[in-house]
Amino acid sequence: MTSIRNVAIIAHVDHGKTTLVDKILHEAKLFRDNQETGELILDNNDLERERGITILSKNVSVTYKDTKINIIDTPGHADFGGEVERVLKMADGVVLLVDAFEGPMPQTRFVLSKALELGLHPIVVINKVDKPNCRPDEIHDGVFELMFNLDATEEQLEFTTVYGSSKQGWMGPDWKNPTDNVQYLLDVIIDEVPPAPAPEGTPQLQITSLDFSSYTGRIAIGRLVRGKLTTNMPVGVAKKDGTIQKGRIKELHVFEGLGKRKVEEVVAGDICAITGIDGFEIGDTVTDPETPDPLPRIAIDEPTMNMLFTINNSPFFGKEGKFVTSRHLRDRLYKETEKNLALRIQDGESEDKFIVYGRGILHLAVLIETMRREGYELQVGQPQVIFKEIDGQRHEPVETLVIDVPEEVAGKAIELATQRKGELLIMEPKGDLQHLEFEIPSRGLIGLRNNILTATQGEAIMTHRFKEYAPYKGDIGGRINGSIISMENGPCTAYALDKLQDRGTFFVAPGTDLYGGMVIGEHSRPSDITVNVQKGKKLTNMRAAGSDDSSKLPPPRAFSLEECLEYIQKDEYVEITPESIRMRKILLDENERKRAGNK
């Protein structure tokens, strides 16, 4: 029987984790020599490739020297922190991947602390040593220091360090002497990571992640800790409330390469997917129905933010999307909760409104972007932070915010963060950048990224991670400027936009089709203003010197989906269709807005 190694990979966003896994898959000859595989095999969802982040943790396995290595990918972004802790439960060792220039980053620190607490043995890979001005030796010392600060044990501190460049496809013991493949890393994994223990006895498997198939329903994924499972075997699922729900295994799959292989039997130590059992949740234990022995449950991150989702009822409703009714929206949102665990959904005040709870703006934006690509049309309201009453006092979520900025603009970044009740905890130089760490309410983060990127000419690197609920820190000012709103329906003209330049910045280009009540710009003053941008130039057959010059317009300000979500006010919606993202007032009619404002 082949021995099994279960190893998780931890890395910060963009440190080369996905590329490294690609190279390991190639090394294990999983592909035919002439097979087209493309890059970034693990980030197989278009959104993951575009944003350069891993959103869903995935499992891959390779067989090397008669040993099966299960590689468990962990998400690199803080908004998906709920995934991380569960995934680490499946591993016996951990590969910490660090960029040879940037060193260990804040989110890496969070995942690493969880891995060390679980007693996993670390292997450090210092990647991208081919980059100019990289500093592998300094980074190695930095990793040691970080582990020491995280209370690593003596054995964990005696980690093996592997140097290499996953882009160039090599790993070795010395960064000055490149090798020509990644076998050294695989050898280190086999030597250093303990073989998965396989105790005898009744089966125990904790469900750590879910998959969903429209043919077989929900699929439970987890690591078999003890005993063995066979097809058609009766099992019990130990629930949160202590009850045991009986069921029968229909099919068993183990991971092989990038896919799954159907098997009749799974032995302890391996990671498998089970179909046929219903009504389970993450953290439940699959065990023997007669003598149940559940494993301790795993805590899942609480949502910290909610947002109103509703159907699109703008004048452009149904022009671009395939799925536009409240039934479509309801079905799609509830289907998402099957596998997206940090998401909760509550019905709103009317049939077509839903309140969706998530881990942060990025978490919700990824869901919206996915739905939009599938052909849905919807509208969402301003993101709201979730408050809690603790001991009769109002508490709000607080996050750790880390900003790396060039020294000359560090002052601006500190000023913007402290205006939003951010508290500066650490300020230290890191290479040629200033490393700033704040404690800031989640409310303060909404809209902050835009302001900081503008103030630092786009050079700031920002990351944040939920820390705890803390007492309410008082009011935080929102956007200061009002909106410029379209008065009429129809395409806007260059002539009208040119005449209104002094009123503020515009988000639309000449010729864009608009409707009354749509937000088309930012007013230079705090109040909203309604303007007619459809007005054309009066045409006469008289020529006047100078008045026939074409209008010179600055390019419109473009917004990404997250920027729109951070930008809108309480009385505005973001309208999302497969082809466009527009901002609008909830009440499109100007008189209705005035009446609502006077109440």
Find out whether 279 is annotated in a ligand binding site.
no
Pairing assessment for the beta strands 393-406 and 461-471 based on DSSP bridges: antiparallel
The verdict on whether residue 493 carries a ligand-binding annotation is: no
19 is in an annotated binding site: yes
User: Would the annotation count 127 as a binding residue?
Assistant: yes
Cα distances from 287 to residues 204, 205, 222, 273, 357, in angstroms, run 5, 7, 12, 15, 32
Helix (H) or strand (E) holding 591: helix 590-598
Strands 353-358 and 378-380: unpaired
Comparing C-alpha atoms, which of 577, 472, 530, 461 is closest to residue 13?
461
| CA separation for the pair 128, 125 (Å, rounded) | 10
Burial letters 259-286, b for 16+ CB under 10 A, else e: ebeebeebbbbbbbbbbbbeebebbbbb
Q: State the distance between the two ends of the chain, measured CA to CA, in whole angstroms.
A: 75
CB 8 within 8 A of CB 120: yes
Is 270 labeled as ligand-binding? no
Three-state SS for 509-523 is: CCCCEECCCEEEEEE
Question: Is residue 337 annotated as involved in ligand binding?
Answer: no
3-state secondary structure of 83: helix
Closest CA to 331 of 349, 320, 345: 345
| Two tokens, residue 340 | 């997206």
Q: What angle do CA 223, 344, 105 make, to 5 degrees?
A: 60
Binding site as annotated, residues: 14-19, 127-130
Mark the binding-site residues for GTP, compressed into ranges. 14-19, 127-130
